[in-house]
Amino acid sequence: MTTERQPTLDTVAAEAGVSRATVSRVINGSPRVSPEARDLVEGTIARLGYVPNRAARTLASRRTDSVALVLREADATVLADPYLSAVIIATSQALVGTGVQLVLVNAQNDAEHQRVGEYVRSGHVDGVLLASMHADDPLPQMLVGSGVPVVVSGRPERHIPGLVYVDSDNVGGGQLATERLLSAGRTRVAHIAGPPDMTAAADRLTGYHRALARAGVRAGPVAFGDFTRASGESAMADLLSRGAEVDAVFAANDMMAIGALRALRATGRRVPDDVSLVGYDDIELAQHTEPSLTTVRQPVVHQARTMTELLLLQIGGQPPGDPVVLPTDLVPRDSG
């Protein structure tokens, strides 16, 4: 009785009429293969039923076939924030079919980021996606300086040569939200901003001021939150306790807008009759508030997919690309 031998890498190369090195490059995702050769090799692999030896690939290429998604927030924030949950899910989905696994890492402070940097530089993952970054974050510079493939979600506060990022148009989104309120005839527009050390929050604040300036409307009061529902409720209560006579509020994310809605109700103010309200992100919950929340949609799935594609290209040997800024759009509902 004879046992049929499993096809080897040499078998694939011989059948396809290419070199062993070309087959290896196709298997390892190298960009240094023509589309024709890639199609030929992949067709031969499928026809022969060749299964690459994963352990051998890892040893030869020093690849782990895993990437890390690093978030800099408290555990409770990550679990409770629908936007961050959407980022995690979208990133995981973007990796389906690539053979690459996602490792989720939460680093809340500089000490933990130092440990994450050491973990990554030791070769435990092939690259890193950074999200929810703050201005004083040491990881981007640390990883780029070590030659680790990295893509950042959101515009870094300062330019770092070799660092690619994917962002949404937060300035434009802030303008859209504010212009929506102005178009309803509102003239006393307050803003609940996010953390000032996060560029997304700073850019939305810039968009708010830009829309008001262009309309010739005086800027209203600003309070700061941390993108949580509780901070939005507290910020709204603070604005009202200052005696601010506002007829509209733009909150820098939906969770803070939902908190603001609660604070407005607690003081007997009706939304949108007395105060119009617009949020940001278009989380699922925004459809189910009472009234439903007008908001600005971020393309979370598109952003996660783009980040993942750019990271995999770097891992495959291509240089970092140019920054990508994706458009945002207004989602009108009943709150403003």
| Lowest-confidence segment of 32-46, 71-85, 127-141, 278-292 by average pLDDT | 71-85
Q: 3-state class of 224 per DSSP? A: strand
* Structure confidence by residue, pLDDT tens digits, 267-300: 999 999 999 999 999 999 999 999 999 999 999 9
User: What pTM value is reported for the model?
Assistant: 0.80
d(CA 266, CA 122): 53
| Lowest-confidence segment of 16-30, 246-260, 269-283, 286-300 by average pLDDT | 16-30
* Summary mean pLDDT of the chain: 89
> How confident is the model over 207-231, as a mean pLDDT?
97
The widest CA-to-CA distance across the chain, in whole angstroms, is 91
Query: For residues 102-112, b (16+ Cβ closer than 10 Å) or e, as one string?
Result: beebbbeeeee
d(CA 43, CA 335): 55
DSSP symbols for 110-146: HHHHHHHHHHHHTTSSSEEEEES--TT--HHHHHHHT
Length of the chain: 336
Residue corresponding to tokens 């434009």: 172
d(CA 260, CA 246): 13
pLDDT > 70 in the chain, percent:
93
The amino acid at 257: A
pLDDT surpasses 50 at 2: no
The amino acid at 295: T
pLDDT surpasses 70 at 58: no
pLDDT > 90 in the chain, percent:
60
